[in-house]
Structure 1
Amino acid sequence: MFHVFAALIGLYVIGRFVPPLPVGTLWKWLIAFVILLVSQYHLVNRLFLGGMASPEVPFPVLAFGGWLFGAFILLAGFLLIRDIVSLFLWTAHKTGLIPVSIIFGYRWMLGLGMAALLLSAVGVWQAVRIPDVRRIDITLEKLPAELDGLKLVQLTDLHASRLFQATWIRAVVNRTNALNPDLIVITGDLVDGSTIDRAPDVAPLADLKARLGVFAVTGNHEYYSNYINWMKAFRRLGLNILGNEHVLIADRDRALVLAGVTDRVAANFGLPEPDIGKALSGAPGDLPVILMAHQPKGSSTYASAGVDLQLSGHTHGGQVLGIHWITRMANDGYVSGLYRVGDMQLYVSNGTGLWNGFPVRLGKPSEITEIVLHTPARHHPEPDRQKP
């Protein structure tokens, strides 16, 4: 279905972009063929290059393919906006609101095409660069005074692949360790590909250091890439995987609850679904609860269960300003940043990496998230954003 939808977008782009171009018929057919081929980028990956989730091709090939596909998506968006504006102007002219008819000629087409190619190139660079650190301060009502200033670093959506290889993962690990975190949490989608293909790329994760431990939950992509094998591999790397369970994080004679749930796609593979009741079973009710859940969907259920802070990823922040509105609608209204959900706070990271199938970021930068926890008595203001 995905490939059919992409083909329909391709036909729309061809129909709106190609006919006005000032070139001969043969060139128009060639341009149309290239656009249709680019629209089927993921089908080509699936059939010939090792898989849609993780094509096993060199980095330059992935970056080049991602650049072309990104330009295709941006051009489709530009053409849609142009058509909407054209319809508005035509209606305004017919009703006498504007005296002259305005026509977008072939120069507009060329300009939109060049803009799409240029912005996609910038977007690919933004996607594959080493993320900057984003610091946020969060106040938890139940946090003991002794734990004020506790520092967590959240990594999410690393998507280790031929696009994000060992050198990139190593740089992320080094930047994370340089923050000297008390606790490191990884909220899913660590990998794309098999344990055989990705073992060298995820190896640097073994060097993550935090005095209170390194914990993780699964994302949807772990299930696409042989969940059972990856659970064994992650534990060999020293990652503590929380699947519908919790641990007590004890420090300075005080403690908090760190819980984790499985991902929502688990049921599609006959594996345990997210179960917040099981995850918090036996947890002390007077301690603050931090929950790792890959997807922000279903956060109201977690808030009702007594979670104080939920940490999620999955959305990649929407990746492109404008497209993020669609991502927000698909994720219960949550896409990026800090939200209030009942008595719970929800932080949705833009992601440290992203899926190599659309490696473009524009206005939605990747991040390594440094989260500093505070007690109410030592509140450090940070504007919350309500769910739209």
Structure 2
Amino acid sequence: MLFTGAFGAIVLLAVMQLAIDLARLPAMLIGRGGFVVPAFVLYAMGSAAAVLAAIGVSQAVRVPPVHDIEIAIPGLSPAYDGYTMLQLTDLHISRLFPARWTRAVVDSSNALRPDLIVITGDFIDGSIAARRADVEPLRDLRAMDGVWAIPGNHEYFFGYEGWMRHFAAMGMRVLANNHAILSHGEGRLVLAGVTDLSAPETGNAPPDIDAALRGSPAGVPVILLDHQPKMAPKAAAKGVAVQLSGHTHGGMILGLDRLLALANGGYVSGRYAVGGMTLYVNNGTALWPGFALRLGRPSELTRITLRRCEPRGGKPC
């Protein structure tokens, strides 16, 4: 934790220094040498960087608060109006996010009594041998319709097949280019999931939306789990109603999120309308421990309430 805070302070101080250098650049280019930065400004920068780093680390490692959103779905069965899904993503269970943190997240999640829990990848940073005890509390996640999961890119770094078997043994149902049909009375909902874009780098199957949707019933809304958001336009073109993603950590720092959006198809945090589909990019339950700072992009336990709607007068829901 101390190392993380110190590293964060260095990064923030470097950003502040870069801003000053950019401000001085015009004068330097015309040969006037720019302006001299007073010593007290440099000291103030160092203090501010340390304070911001402390705040950023505390925001990064906390158990997230609940973030409530509603998503309207055309053609949703009345049986699913008010249905609640809890999305967890990017837990990055590790030495920074160990068993006690995982236990607190599980307890907070179960207290919400969701109808369904989905985990959209990047569970871990480490091998099964190293992280077995730290992930163990996930076994106690409870929801009426179970716990469903997809891999993120970090699962492929640490033994994809072993981790998928381990999660399945813990009672999670893994969707890897396939789907399940959920039923309540006369109502049905398709829950689909794909593998991660990084999968081919380790010789595993790439994400395949066509395979994930093959055989799904016509006219039944599809909720797609895809760790990375950048393929959202393709999912929308396939008739998916909702895509739930993570991966970006919300950009972590306000301002930096704009840069991360460029690498993720323009999607980095929150709700987007993509060709008639709703994309929700979760800021993350945690984040990669190698850069554990959050400023203005908070972590979240995301409770999603589904709402039935019908387009009227040619207008979308």
> Under a length normalisation based on structure 2, what TM-score does the superposition of the two structures give?
0.94
The aligned residue for residue 6 of structure 2 is 68
Structure 1 position 118, deviation (Å) = 1.5
Q: Partner of 2:23 in structure 1?
A: 85
CA offsets, 1:148-178, max 9 Å, x none?
0010000000000011111111111111111
**SS where residue 209 of structure 1 aligns?**
coil
| Structure showing greater relative contact order (alpha-carbon pairs closer than 8 Å, 6 or more residues apart) | 2
2:193 matched to which residue of 1? 260
Q: Which residue of 2 aligns with 1:314?
A: 247
Q: Residues 308-387 of structure 1: matches in 2 within 5 Å?
A: 308-376=241-309
Instruction: Determine whether 1:144 maps to 2:144.
Output: no
Kindly provide the amino acid, as one letter, of the partner of residue 73 in structure 1.
V
- Identify which of 276, 279, 289 aligns with 2:209: 276
TM-superposed deviation, 1:330? 1.1
CA distance in 1, matches of 2:61, 2:134: 15
Classify the secondary structure of the residue corresponding to 1:264.
Answer: coil
Alpha-carbon separation, structure 1, partners of 2:184 and 2:27: 64
Question: More displaced, 286-295 or 323-332?
Answer: 323-332
Q: Sequence identity, in percent? A: 48
Q: What SS does structure 2 have at the residue aligned with 1:139?
A: strand
Q: Does 1:128 align with 2:61?
A: yes
TM-fit CA distance, 1:102: 4.5
Q: Distance in 1 between matches of 2:42 and 2:281?
A: 37
Runs of 4+ that moved beyond 6 A: 89-94
1:329 Cα deviation after fit: 1.1
Looking at structure 2, the residues matched to 232 and 377 of structure 1 have their Cα atoms a distance apart, in angstroms, of 41
Alignment of 1:149-160 (within 5 A): 149-160=82-93
The alpha carbon displacement at 1:264 in A equals: 0.4
SS in 1 for 2:179: strand
* Larger CA deviation: 113-122 vs 370-379: 370-379
TM-superposed deviation, 1:67: 1.1
Distance of 2:7 and 2:229 partners within structure 1: 27
Which residue does 1:208 correspond to in 2? Answer: 141
In 2: Cα distance, 1:346 partner to 1:147 partner: 19
Give 5+ residue unaligned stretches, structure 2: none
For residues 155 and 346 of structure 1, the distance between their equivalents in structure 2, rounded to whole angstroms, comes to 15
What is the CA-CA distance between 1:86 and the residue it aligns to? Answer: 2.1
Task: Measure the CA separation in 2 of the matches of 1:245 and 1:358.
Answer: 33
Alignment partner for residue 166 of structure 1, among 99, 103, 116?
Answer: 99
Q: Residue 266 of structure 1: CA displacement?
A: 0.2
Q: Is the 8 A contact 2:78 2:187 kept in 1?
A: no
C-alpha displacement at 1:90, in angstroms? 6.3
Determine whether 1:301 maps to 2:234.
Answer: yes
Q: 1:314 Cα deviation (Å)?
A: 0.4
2-side partners of 1:76 and 1:142: how far apart?
A: 51
Distance 1:132 1:276 in 2: 32
Determine helix, strand or coil for the equivalent of 1:294: coil
Provide the C-alpha distance between the structure 2 equivalents of 1:367 and 1:88, rounded to a whole number of angstroms. 42
1:304-345 deviation per Cα after TM superposition (whole angstroms, max 9, x unaligned) = 111110000000001111111111111111110000010111
Amino acid corresponding to residue 344 of structure 1 in structure 2:
M
How many angstroms apart in 2 are the aligned matches of 1:142 and 1:269?
Answer: 39
Query: Contact 1:147 / 1:252 at 8 angstroms: preserved in 2?
Result: no
2:54 is the counterpart of 1:116 = no
| 2:176 paired with 1:239 | no
SS at 1:201 equivalent: helix
> What is the identity, as a one-letter code, of the residue corresponding to 2:98?
Q
Structure 1 CA distance, aligned partners of 2:203 and 2:31? 59
Which amino acid letter does the alignment assign opposite residue 82 of structure 1? I
Per-residue deviation at 1:147?
A: 1.1
Instruction: Tell me which residue corresponds to 1:53.
Output: none
Could you say if the C-alpha distance between residues 70 and 269 of structure 1 is closer, same or farther in structure 2, counting changes exceeding 3 Å?
A: same
- Are residue 227 (structure 1) and residue 160 (structure 2) matched? yes
* Contact 1:154/1:185 (8 A) holds in 2: yes
Any idea what SS the aligned residue of 1:71 has?
Answer: helix
Q: How many aligned positions are there?
A: 312
CA distance in 1 between counterparts of 2:192 and 2:111 reads 25
Quick check: which has more Rg, 1 or 2?
A: 1
> How far apart, CA to CA, are the structure 2 residues paired with 1:150 and 1:83?
52
Structure 1 residue 378 displacement after superposition: 11
Q: Which secondary structure does the structure 1 equivalent of 2:129 belong to?
A: helix
